[in-house]
Amino acid sequence: MKLVIASNNKGKIAEYKQMLSPLGYEVMSQSETGITLDAEETGSTFEENAAIKARALFEAAHCNVLADDSGLVIDALGGQPGVYSARYGGVPDSEGRNALVLEKMKDVPENERTARFVAVIHFIFEDGGEVSVRGECEGSIGYAPQGDNGFGYDPIFMYEGKSFAQHTQQFKNSVSHRGKALEKLIAAIKKENEEK
């Protein structure tokens, strides 16, 4: 069974292949199928944006599809950057976005620096059935970027005394928001297939 992911991110595709191939899916990126699609993320929640991307891809691919939306939610900033994580403050690069967050958080005390990474995966089966799952990883915002084993907000997101960019990829996969969402998705797919 073909499964097209609404992404061309090689790391993300590899992660999905590893987790979903054992269920019998031939996991492919959009570019591998020749689909060039960039759905406009107009939703106000991760759930809405993941669904928008999945439904646009389903219209083009007519097979099993999957889209996700993820980001960083910081309590002291009222949930920012949230759904705007990838384009927060109009800053074009991760280093700049991390610097912006740290600047906004400079006067926030340790006990109020709580944050979480959130990932929502929206899966559409080839018969049109849909399932949405959410995973979260609780942590806090550090005071300066640390580590180089990560991307995005990993260097400023603290988890168990280290930044996400200081943990190994294997460890991150075991506790990450996307890993947790994927576990829920696999359970939902297995349940759906048993009921068919």
Known catalytic residues are 69
From the number of C-beta atoms within 10 Å of its C-beta (0-12, 13-18, 19+), residue 148 rates as exposed
Of 102, 106, 77, 78, nearest to 91 by C-alpha is: 102
Kindly report the backbone phi and psi dihedral angles of residue 33, in degrees, each rounded to the nearest multiple of 5, phi listed first: -100, 0
Contact indicator for 70, 177 with CB cutoff of 8 Å: yes
How many residues in the chain?
196
What are the tokens at 117?
Answer: 């990474």
**At 147, which amino acid appears?**
G
- Which long-range contacts does 31-39 make (Cβ < 8 Å, 24+ apart)? 33/2, 33/4, 33/61, 35/4, 35/60, 35/61, 37/6, 39/6
Strand partners, 120: 69, 134
